[in-house]
Amino acid sequence: MKQITHLLITIIILATPVFAQNQSTTPSPQETLKAIDAFSKSPLGPEAKKTDDIIWRFFGDSKSTNFARVYLFPEFAPFTELSAAEPKPPENIVRALRTATLAGNLRPQLKTGVIGNQPYAGLQEMIRTYNQLQQADKTLRVQQIENFVDLEAKNQLKQYVDEIVKKKKYPTK
């Protein structure tokens, strides 16, 4: 009986770090920035699920508002305006583009320490990620993002974002 008790205590002690790692704690701003940088380099790579999880956990925790504010606008969210003829890409592509938008919005706030929504930076990151994904899949095409790419190429994306934010009276701080 004594041996079983010792065995159970040993198992509990050895398993505690594993359980602690799986708890949904808020990542630090530094950990989130590292995840954003890793995600940006390889949005579908082997670490993508882990970095994606860190970014979304940071965003989803109310404590993160001490470091950054992000408002997700439907006008800037990929796949909210798909035409009937436009097929929806696989879910991992959809998730990567949404995570890129969030990561791009968070990055400048976490780097500078200046809290304020950054939808334009979010769209720029989404465009960079979209271009990476297109290199891997030449058939990937999302008209809504193509429109953003076109506006950015014409140096009109920032103005477009500012007009939407002002028109809809979305918060910026």
Residue 14 confidence (pLDDT): 32
> Mean pLDDT, consecutive 10-residue segments, the chain of 173 residues?
36 33 75 97 93 95 88 80 70 92 96 94 97 94 92 97 86 65
Q: How far apart are CA 25 and CA 28, in angstroms?
A: 9
Question: Would you say the pTM of this structure is higher than 0.85?
Answer: no
**Selection from 52, 71, 61 nearest residue 28 by Cα:** 61
Residue 149 confidence (pLDDT): 97
Residue 2 confidence (pLDDT): 42
**114-117-120 Cα angle (round to 5):** 110
Q: How far apart are CA 148 and CA 124, in angstroms?
A: 9
